[in-house]
Amino acid sequence: MPANGTTPRAASTRRHDPDRRRRIIETCLDVIAERGVAGTSHRTVAAAAGVPLGSMTYHFDGMDDLLHEAFASFTRTVIDRFERRMAAATDLAAARQAVLALITADVFASNRDLVLTHELYTLAARNPAYRDLTNAWMRSSRAALERHFDPTTTRILDALIEGLTIHRALDTEPQDPQVVQAAIDRITRPAVT
């Protein structure tokens, strides 16, 4: 007993972990990329994140809340990358080059991005509660493109980006950047008056 007559307090076994929620979200994305949404559960995410299972219910109101937060984090990352690329373009030629870079390098930069995107699309197709994320993603992409292109061209270009990035990611043959550039040039050619 200490000299002041008080009983010593047991050392706290609870670790201060201010980034736990963020780590769980990032780990959830890793688990989805590895196992798919169907193979993702509170238990698998907790184990992969190295946190007690109780942390899952402390930080999230169920599996849907965790999935929504994880996909929201993922889409923000992709949106930021897209916006930075388009914001750096200063004229039409640079905007066309930015779109080329988005298609050939930025969007689905890794297999993880590809899988996460398609898992989100499938989830949103089955569950309308996730469409706010896909719609926000499309709105942001179009807003970034509209800095340089009219609204009709933007919608067509957005679809081209989506389609060609999927082809690039899944095709067994390498994508020809010259063909991609030709498609971009055709779509973004100024109207003849």
pLDDT at 9 over 70: no
What pLDDT score was predicted for residue 171?
86
pLDDT given for residue 13 in this prediction = 43
Architecture of the 20-188 domain: Orthogonal Bundle (1.10)
Q: How confident is the model at residue 168 (pLDDT cuts 50, 70, 90)?
A: confident
Residue 4 has pLDDT above 60, yes or no: no
Per-residue model confidence as pLDDT tens digits over 12-71: 444 567 799 999 999 999 999 999 999 999 999 999 999 999 989 999 999 999 999 999
Spatial separation of the C-alpha atoms in residues 159 and 161, rounded to whole Å: 5
The secondary structure of the chain as a DSSP string is --TTSPPPPPPP-PPP-TTHHHHHHHHHHHHHHHHTGGG--HHHHHHHHT--HHHHHHH-SSHHHHHHHHHHHHHHHHHHHHHHHHHT--SHHHHHHHHHHIIIIITT-SHHHHHHHHHHHHHHHH-GGGHHHHHHHHHHHHHHHTTTS-HHHHHHHHHHHHHHHHHHHH-SSPP-HHHHHHHHHHHHPPPP-
Q: Dihedral, CA atoms, 82, 85, 91, 93, nearest 10 degrees?
A: -90
Is 8's pLDDT higher than 90? no
pLDDT, tens digit (0-9, with 9 covering 90-100), for 92-139: 999 999 999 999 888 777 889 999 999 999 999 999 999 999 999 999
pLDDT of residue 2: 52
Average pLDDT estimate for 143-151: 96
Angle at 136 between CA 130 and CA 137, to 5 degrees: 95
pTM of the model: 0.83
Crossing angle for the helix pair 111-126 and 63-87, nearest 10 degrees?
A: 120
Residues 6+ apart with CB under 8 A from 40: 28, 31, 32, 63, 67
Q: Which amino acid is at 102?
A: L
Structure tokens of 114? Answer: 């590809």
Q: How confident is the model at residue 11 (pLDDT cuts 50, 70, 90)?
A: very low
Q: What pLDDT is attached to residue 170?
A: 86
